[in-house]
Amino acid sequence: MANEIPFPLYHKNARKNTIQRALDTTLFFLLISLLFYRLLSLKTHGFVWLLAFLCESWFTFYWFLIVNAKWSPVDIKTYPQNLEPRFPELPTVDMFVTTADPVREPPIMTVNTVLSLLAVDYPADKLACYVSDDGCSALTFYSLVESSKFAKLWVPFCKKYKVQVRAPFRYFLEDPISISAPNFEFKEEWEKIKVEYEHLCLKIKEASRKSALCNLTHDFAVFANIETGNHPTIIKIIGENCEEDVPHLVYISREKRPKYRHHFKAGAMNVLSRVSGLMTNAPLMLNVDCDMFVNNPQVVRQALCQLVGRESERDMGFIQYPQCFYNATKDDPYGNQMVVLMEYIGRGIAGLQGPPYAGTGCFHRRKVIYGVWPDNAASINDYEAMKEFGKSEEFLESATHALKGEKGIRKSISDYLEASFQVAACDYEFGSSWGTKFGWIYGSMTEDVLTGLNIHKKGWKSNFHYLDPPAFLGCAPTGGPAAMTQQKRWATGLLEILVSKSNPIVFNLTGNLQFRLYLFYIYLLSWGLTSVPELCYAALPAYCIIANSHFLPKVQDPAILIPVAIFVTYNMLTLREYLKVDLSFRAWWNNMRMARITATSAYLFGVLTIVLKLLGLSDTVFDVTQKNDEASEDEDDDEINGTAKFTFDESPIFVPGTTLLLVHLTALLSLCLGLRPLVHKDAQGSGVGLGEVLCSLWVVLCFRPFMKGLFRIGKYGLPSSTIFKSTSLALVLVCLGTASWA
């Protein structure tokens, strides 16, 4: 009792998981049983049986990895009220916002994110907000300048009335009487600020329609004749905290030149860390995407509960908050809200060394980003090691202070403006270790996962923290093209890590990565690889019908109970997970079918991209996901009503799914017309059976959105070019299947 801390900051408690473990283990042993059955009967069957065995071997291994990740869930309880009694001098925090395209990421969205960060429940003089604009947009800069004026009204209002939702576009959706106790002063201020916000939105909208914003004079002159991929560094101090009421606000557009690689978001984050290191040098850093606003104003204090204190300083590298979405469509029709994934796998890996870095909604230690190992400060005074940070003497000095854990915010950030231009130059990293040994690590489009892996390799831990209400809310992709583009980018980036020297196999041999977290990273990085067995297994029923073969035991064979038990157990287990987190049966089904669609389309193209890259025939291209402006005037009625139809475009990403559907429809039609017998008499019962027919119907059911797309027009219908390509491929595959039977 004498050793207990009087003011605890957080507790991590193991969650009871008996039923879940039993179900997961049962399914695993059923999968093992099916593999043994396949092996014992492999000699009496042909290629189809072998292909099924290989696919099922992958599924069994993959399920083992999933069970490993889910096995040890924990709950984290924080006590922010104990922060100041233990640490009267709270640490400073630098907040980073990244945006790259003013068209796909509307500036009003970035503005709301920035305003929510400026208004968090934390001393304003201990905060600084840096916005990285990789699109080098005068419109984005103009929007931030105007929002900084509005922030002088918004931030005091939020703190005075303890506003819960501090992104204006969400806050003003509600009636003021339902938000706070109705009193004249509050209502008068509420109406005044709402008018000011509407005026801000109007000015930004009008500016976006002008061909020459503000005639590009004064502060905007630097944007004259700017090329997005070829321009000098632009750094503007929009708001400097002189009166200690609103945090610093700094705009940064790093230098870009065609002959230099800019490393996408990872490069932008490294520039942010260097510029902020010069200006404010806060020991803690928060980064969010431009579409992810603060939904819980206590989030900084909540994160600090796990980052400050002797024990936390020793081993806690970063705090990751789950991604939640404010534009979540009813029943998750595109399967991209990841609620169940976060709930079960997220909590499970929080019980291990910790979750991976997810790229947004994450609090980092600056010294961890700078490459420090736990309990190791030996290299802090090593001048040769410090030279790896680059050639700026001012930055080397700030990095030395950061590595020693010294305090951050300085008296005037404008004093370091000139030095900031140097560290934001595109040639600054030459001869340094940025992007290789420390900072955001280069080499993958999923730089977040690679950076987190690099941190975990050194032995640092992380935590996955759920808050109620959620800490941040973001914008989920809506529509098939946006969802598929995002999934393809993830699959490509994860596979880039898997085939690189940074893969976890090497890390596990040379670093301090815990074995079970190593298994989790194998699961995560293998998302794209699932496309190959998924596609093969999904095509097997149609092939068997066309070629008059079978890959399942016959109905009269007792062994048929094994695949039936697997099918029933898996679907009941996953349905239970969805119902336990208050999701509907429809949401479960949407996610199940989207898992099949994504694996056989987006993930497949991710694999093809990596193969072409390895062969030197192509390089990866970062596609910015289209974000929907919350104020969009052309929002569809079905999306407003909380439902959504699957949408398509002319991207080749929809060709594999359409082809697979057409092959199955052809196989079933040929069976119905009597062109293929249900059992091939001469093969002693070796022909197609009922199992293959039911599986084919299941695949068609999973790809029902594609079947609807065959008969719809506009964005809800499959383009004629996609149908033509898919029909041609389907005919070739059907002919090959028919030839194999003949």
598 alpha carbon, distance to own chain's centre: 15
- Which backbone phi and psi does 442 adopt, to 5 degrees? -90, 160
Which has the closest alpha carbon to 542: 530, 534, 551? Answer: 551
The H or E element that residue 575 is part of is helix 561-580
Distance from C-alpha of 731 to C-alpha of 349, rounded to nearest angstrom = 45
> Which neighbouring-strand residues pair with 127?
93
Any binding-site annotation on 534?
no
Question: Taking the CB of residue 360, how many other CB atoms lie within 10 A of it?
Answer: 22
Count the neighbouring beta carbons within 10 Å of the beta carbon of residue 262.
Answer: 18
Q: Tokens at residue 62, please? A: 């993959």
Residue 47: how many other CB atoms lie within 10 Å: 11
d(CA 545, CA 695): 11
Round to the nearest angstrom and report the end-to-end CA distance of the chain.
Answer: 81
3-state DSSP assignment of residue 323: coil
Q: If phi over 0 gives left and psi between -120 and 50 gives alpha, with beta otherwise, what is residue 48? A: alpha
Q: Do 226 and 199 contact (CB within 8 A), yes or no?
A: no
Helix (H) or strand (E) holding 311: helix 310-315
Q: Is 337 helix (H, G, I), strand (E, B) or coil?
A: coil
On whether 458 is known to bind a ligand per the annotation, the reply is no
What CA–CA distance (Å, rounded) separates 741 from 548?
6
What 3-state class would DSSP assign to 182?
coil
CB 136 within 8 A of CB 234: yes
Cβ neighbourhood burial of 595 (10 Å; 0-12, 13-18, 19+): middle
Give me the active site residues, please.
134, 448
What lies within 8 Å, CB to CB, of 622 at 6+ separation is: 264, 265, 445, 489
Among 649, 646, 654, 647, smallest CA distance to 729 is for 654
Give the integer Cα–Cα distance in Å for 208 and 213. Answer: 8
Burial class of residue 381 in the structure, from the number of CB atoms within 10 Å of its CB (0-12 exposed, 13-18 middle, 19+ buried) = exposed
Amino acid at 715: K
Question: Distance (Å, rounded) from C-alpha 124 to C-alpha 121?
Answer: 9
| Kind and range of the H or E run holding 286 | strand 284-289
Estimate to the nearest angstrom the gap between the alpha carbon of 734 and the chain centroid.
38
CA–CA distance, 646 with 388 (Å, rounded to integer) = 49
> What 3-state class would DSSP assign to 253?
strand
105 is in an annotated binding site: yes
SS3 569: helix
- Give the helix/strand (H/E) hosting 522: helix 515-525
Query: Is residue 446 within 8 Å of residue 490, measured between CB atoms?
Result: yes
Instruction: Name the phi and psi angles at 407, rounded to 5.
Output: -70, 160
- 10 Å CB burial of residue 174 (0-12, 13-18, 19+) is exposed
> Is 134 known to sit in a ligand binding site?
yes
Output phi, psi for 289, to 5 deg: -75, 160
In angstroms and rounded to an integer, the radius of gyration of the C-alpha atoms of the chain is: 28
> How many whole angstroms separate alpha carbon 161 and alpha carbon 176?
11
User: What 3-state DSSP class applies to 223?
Assistant: helix
Q: Which residue has the tokens 């083992």?
A: 64
CA-to-CA distance for 487 and 8, rounded, in angstroms? 40
Residues annotated within the binding site for UDP-alpha-D-glucose are 105, 134
Residues annotated within the binding site are 105, 134, 265, 289
Residues annotated within the binding site for Mn(2+) are 265, 289
